[in-house]
Amino acid sequence: MKMDRVQNGTLNVEQVRADFPVLQREVRPGVPLVYLDSAATSQKPLEVIQAMDAYYRSSNANIHRGIHTLAEEATYLYEEARSKVAAFIGAASPKQVIYTRNCTEAINLVAYTWGRKFLQAGDVIILTEMEHHANLVPWQILAEERGVQLEFIPVTADGMLDLEAYKKLLEKEPKLVAFAHMSNVLGTINPAKEIIRLAHQAGALALVDAAQSVPHMPVNVQDLDADFLAFSAHKMCGPTGIGALYGRKEILEAMPVFMGGGDMIKKVHLRSFTPNELPYKFEAGTPAIAEAVGFGAAVDYLKKIGIEAIGAHEHQIVAYALERLEEVPGLKVLGPSADNRGGVVAFSFGVAHPHDISQILDSEGIAIRAGHHCAMPLHDKFHLAATARASFYLYNTHQEVDRLVEGLYKVREIFGS
Ligand code: 7TS
């Protein structure tokens, strides 16, 4: 398969597109879909859909319980997928990969368990001004409850983190530095390895919100030396309803349990319980089994295509998009140049509200996202209530960027912006 979809490290996008059933559809008769909203959720290749379908058709059972053929198959598939996900991010052991509902739940798990056990009033957590609410609100809740102090690495006018300011903040001896590997608005790829190195030097742990990086670039938790790393399957060709938290083993072991119930215990008495081993300790109740199977299939798919080739393709598309969008009068792109950016372009456009832009583009079959993209403080920083955002993945083409630009000229005609 690798042969026909990738040639000399370059994606054959037409071949790739054929793997995604939804990309064949027309939004309305004669209007083909241009899907530019993969930062919200990616489309799913047939292999993922089929893996989940096959699971339900032939192996559906609850896991870790029954000693019957189907239960054993389901358990095997669920754990096999965990091993695939662990290998994909370079984790030393699958035991360090905890299934969660999504990236949001993974970060909340850390805030609720590690945060509540190890942090006290006055302790400092460093975040950044470009965080998604998923890596902001859980810490705000903790701050309110425990008197933990939040500090923020500033974002510069061109959408980069101010690392000099970060170094100053580290003098406050934080307990945790939690940051987005890639911004879902600015597209900025942050220097994760350096941020983590500096955090460790200052005695802090580091949590990487990798929701926008794991789907698009090689991410290796051991190379990064991350203490925690969180991401969602649905942004990486997998299903909704499942994500993962990677954690350093000794930290996960020291953390108290998250939710209570079946599977997360070794023993239960009427008034007490003994927690299970990793990773089950953090997985209470019947999990998303079919979704785990789909998650594993998504990793297989990305590996077959090659994450480097995917990243290189997106880099080309985003560089082309930046070049084409610059031509459109009145349009202002947020964030850095293509060199420091993944496949996300958010912009404002004169008098046209992002919702109107999105609606007009939708009439042309073009799906983008409009709003604050769950990053309100970042929008406040740039004095914007909302932006329009196009985001790209392995299946997007240069022609689709052209369609976007044509659509924006139509917006301009209507609004005279
Ligand atoms: N972190 C970042 C950087 C994100 O972009 C997102 C989702 C999340 C965390 C949360 O992921 P979830 O799967 O738990 O929801 N970002 C977006 C987006 O940009 N548009 O829709 C969801």
Atom of ligand 1 nearest to the CA of 344: 19
Is residue 101 in contact with ligand 1, taking CB distance under 6 Å?
A: no
Is residue 184 in contact with ligand 1, taking CB distance under 6 Å?
A: yes
How many CB atoms sit inside 10 A of residue 312's CB? 16
| Bridge partners of residue 179, in order along the sequence | 208
pLDDT in tens, 121-145: 999 999 999 999 999 999 999 999 9
pLDDT in tens, 279-312: 999 999 999 999 999 999 999 999 999 999 999 9
Is residue 131 in contact with ligand 1, taking CB distance under 6 Å?
A: no
Task: Name the phi and psi angles at 365, rounded to 5.
Answer: 85, 10
Mean pLDDT (the chain, rounded): 97
CA 79 to chain CA centroid, Å, is: 22
Q: Are 44 and 239 in contact (CB under 8 A)?
A: yes
Query: Does the pLDDT value for residue 64 go beyond 90?
Result: no
Say what the pLDDT of residue 351 is: 75
Task: Name the phi and psi angles at 175, rounded to 5.
Answer: -95, -25
Is residue 209 in contact with ligand 1, taking CB distance under 6 Å?
A: yes
Query: Does the pLDDT value for residue 231 go beyond 80?
Result: yes
36 burial type by CB count under 10 A (0-12 exposed, 13-18 middle, 19+ buried): buried
Q: Is the previous residue joined to 32 through a cis bond, with omega within 30 degrees of 0?
A: no
3-class DSSP state for residue 332? Answer: strand
- The pLDDT confidence band at residue 49, using thresholds 50, 70 and 90, is very high
pLDDT (average), residues 2-18: 87
Distance 211 CA to ligand 1 centre (A): 6
Residues 6+ away with beta carbon under 8 Å from 276? 263, 264, 265, 266
Distance 41 CA to ligand 1 centre (A): 8
Say what the pLDDT of residue 417 is: 55
Which residue puts its alpha carbon closest to atom 17 of ligand 1? 40
Run of H or E residues at 197: helix 192-201
Instruction: Report the amino acid identity of residue 252.
Output: L
Question: Does pTM surpass 0.95?
Answer: yes
Going through 243-341 in order, the beta strands assigned E by DSSP cover 243-247, 265-269, 272-275, 331-333
Q: Which of the following is catalytic: 374, 376, 384, 405? A: 374
- The pLDDT confidence band at residue 1, using thresholds 50, 70 and 90, is very low
pLDDT in tens, 65-116: 778 999 999 999 999 999 999 999 999 999 999 999 999 999 999 999 999 9
- The pLDDT confidence band at residue 191, using thresholds 50, 70 and 90, is very high
Is residue 102 in contact with ligand 1, taking CB distance under 6 Å?
A: yes
Distance 219 CA to ligand 1 centre (A): 17
Distance 313 CA to ligand 1 centre (A): 22
From 132, 133, 209, give the residue whose CB has the most ligand 1 atoms within 8 Å, as the site to mutate. 132
Instruction: Report the amino acid identity of residue 9.
Output: G
Angle subtended by helix axes 289-305 and 307-326, to nearest 10: 80
| Bridge partners of residue 149, in order along the sequence | 124
Atom of ligand 1 nearest to the CA of 184: 5
Distance 132 CA to ligand 1 centre (A): 7
Which residue puts its alpha carbon closest to atom 18 of ligand 1? 40
Say what the pLDDT of residue 113 is: 98
274 burial type by CB count under 10 A (0-12 exposed, 13-18 middle, 19+ buried): exposed
Which residue puts its alpha carbon closest to atom 5 of ligand 1? 184
Query: Does the pLDDT value for residue 33 go beyond 50?
Result: yes
Residues 6+ away with beta carbon under 8 Å from 207? 107, 110, 135, 176, 177, 178, 179, 226, 227, 228, 229, 230
Is residue 134 in contact with ligand 1, taking CB distance under 6 Å?
A: yes
Residues 6+ away with beta carbon under 8 Å from 129? 152, 153, 154, 155, 377, 378, 381
Q: Are 308 and 2 in contact (CB under 8 A)?
A: no
Say what the pLDDT of residue 335 is: 97
- The pLDDT confidence band at residue 9, using thresholds 50, 70 and 90, is confident
Residue 5's alpha-carbon distances to 15, 18, 61, 406, in angstroms, are 6, 10, 35, 28
Residues 6+ away with beta carbon under 8 Å from 360? 407, 410, 411, 414
Domains and CATH numbers, the chain: 2-45+307-415 (3.90.1150.10), 50-303 (3.40.640.10)
Distance 134 CA to ligand 1 centre (A): 7
3-class DSSP state for residue 251? Answer: helix
169 burial type by CB count under 10 A (0-12 exposed, 13-18 middle, 19+ buried): buried
pLDDT in tens, 335-368: 999 999 999 999 999 879 999 999 999 999 999 9
Atom of ligand 1 nearest to the CA of 185: 19
How many CB atoms sit inside 10 A of residue 171's CB? 8
pLDDT in tens, 143-177: 999 999 999 999 999 999 999 999 999 999 999 99
Distance 68 CA to ligand 1 centre (A): 38
Say what the pLDDT of residue 2 is: 45
Say what the pLDDT of residue 8 is: 85
Say what the pLDDT of residue 377 is: 97
Is residue 211 in contact with ligand 1, taking CB distance under 6 Å?
A: yes
Query: Does the pLDDT value for residue 118 go beyond 50?
Result: yes
- CA 48/CA 13 separation, integer angstroms: 18
Q: Is there a catalytic annotation at residue 103? A: no
From 232, 236, 345, give the residue whose CB has the most ligand 1 atoms within 8 Å, as the site to mutate. 232
